[in-house]
Amino acid sequence: MRYAYAITSALLLGGAAATLTLNPSDAQTAQNEPGAINAISAPRAGAPMSFADMVARLSPAVVNISTTQRITVAQQANPFSGTPFEQFFGGRGGGGGAAPRTQEAQSLGSGFLISNDGYIVTNNHVVSAGAEGATVESITVTLADQKEYKARLIGRDELSDLAVLKIDGANFPYVRFGDSRQTRVGDWILTIGNPLGQSGTVTAGIVSALNRVGQGPYDRFIQTDAAINRGNSGGPMFDMQGNVIGINSQILSPTGGNIGIGFAIPAEQAKPIVDKLMKGQSVSRGYLGLTQQEITADIAAALNITKDRGALVNGVSPGEPAARAGVRPGDVILTVNGKEITAQQSLTYLVGNEAPGSRVTLDVLRDGKRQQIPVTLGTRPTNDQLAAQNERFDPDTAPTTPRATTNLAATAGLVVQPLTPQIARQLRLDSTIRGVVVADVDPNSDAATKGLRRGVVIQSVNRQPVTTEAELIRAIQQARASGAKQVLIYAQLPGSPFAQFVPIGIEAK
């Protein structure tokens, strides 16, 4: 930092500081036209030449968090059980079986006080069991003055990766949340935490990007190049006014260490959740009860829509809000309450930010026509409940009997037969599903390339229901006659809880 400022000072002394050049309002110039951008002659207003005073003020509110976990570990059976050597290895569990044993483990992270009476914000993963069969027995909070406190878990939210703790006492140093919506790419930021067990570590950097989409459905991170490592999780990200604009959460690294790509949960998203958790309330999110799939370039071409815009519905759960409102598989949902669905604003994200029981309007594209569907949202189930709902039998092969097809080109390389009640039972399908079953696939066809195989149930082609091979051929012929190079089939793949739309090429080879 001193080197960077020294260079700047030299430029100023040499008279090289640039001034804003005025141009006619209708004249377009290069974004970095010489003189169009002020030379960086000093830190932006509010940014200090040194972070020392700022750190001294903020550090007392940042805490270290450690957990003690009890892990149950299965032991190996005595390999000499039943032999003359068994008595020499009795401690390893005689009789062929071994009783499980427990062992202790610890984890470290960071957090920060948000009230003078001891409420602390951190990541959920900092205070959660880190392994299967593990339970958290105690949580210890260490302040900057090295005083230790036993903490109680007040609440946690797995989807946002946030948790609130409480320590007993009064007059604790604390910090407030700021407005992360004012944060800009390029702004200076400061982090304080406990990386790799090194308490009170301060790092500085800039905001590298905003609204970074993570692996979770509600992840929209602030990205930074400030050094963030294991143990920084749950610690605060400060702006130059000392406001908490983010909660350090994740890093992207092939090595597990800092490479300059760290992520923080924006204060805008965190504060409403923290407020609920402090009151002992659970965090609930809006829910439609449908599944969707990515709109690839092929699917976009088949539907004549724009790629990366909208959500293609490929399944609707019976009795859930979407089904009750009349949403159907094949619908493309374009907006939620006028907010466009994009890669940064997914359908799940937009709906999840609405309160359960609220009424939203979906702008839907169906059969090439737009219409609006009002929906009263339900409450999103937990991850475990959703996983249980999606659990489905996955046969290796469908117990069908292939039959000859005279012209594979006419069926785009597919050998199909009607879906009978017997086959539906063998495939564990809902009795209401209608279609044709794939008995065989030409390995050289695009259908095979796209993953279609024996046991797949095709319900429609270009939104036309098909229940016989003749209907399949007719739909493909109609598409070819219109000049189309592919069709969009709606297919139930073995093991999948819902059907999916799959574009397959239909050009004769």
Query: Which of the residues are catalytic?
Result: 125, 161, 233
Which of 395, 509, 406, 391 lies closest to 448 in space, CA to CA?
Answer: 509
459: Cβ–Cβ under 8 A, 6 or more apart, which residues? 433, 434, 435, 465, 466, 490, 491, 492, 499
Provide the 3-class DSSP secondary structure of residue 372: strand
Which of 173, 178, 186 lies closest to 238 in space, CA to CA?
Answer: 178
Contact criterion met (CB below 8 Å) for 283 and 273: yes
Quote the strand ranges of 337-394, DSSP E.
Answer: 339-340, 359-366, 369-376, 378-379
Amino acid letter, residue 87: Q
Q: How many CB atoms lie within 10 A of CB 193?
A: 28
Amino acid letter, residue 189: I
Quote the strand ranges of 179-298, DSSP E.
Answer: 188-193, 201-213, 220-224, 236-238, 244-251, 262-266, 286-287, 290-293
Write down the residue that tokens 């879906």 correspond to: 419
Q: Which residues sit opposite 238 in a β-bridge?
A: 190, 244
Contact criterion met (CB below 8 Å) for 459 and 490: yes
Write down the residue that tokens 């301060």 correspond to: 202
Which of 385, 368, 321 lies closest to 347 in space, CA to CA?
Answer: 321
Q: Which residues sit opposite 101 in a β-bridge?
A: 73
Q: How many CB atoms lie within 10 A of CB 421?
A: 9
CA distance 427 to 314: 19
452: Cβ–Cβ under 8 A, 6 or more apart, which residues? 414, 438, 441, 491, 502, 504
Amino acid letter, residue 61: A
Which of 269, 180, 195 lies closest to 226 in space, CA to CA?
Answer: 195
292: Cβ–Cβ under 8 A, 6 or more apart, which residues? 311, 312, 313, 314, 333, 347
Residue 169 CA, distance from chain mean position: 37
Burial group, residue 364, by CB count within 10 angstroms (0-12, 13-18, 19+): buried
Contact criterion met (CB below 8 Å) for 200 and 177: no
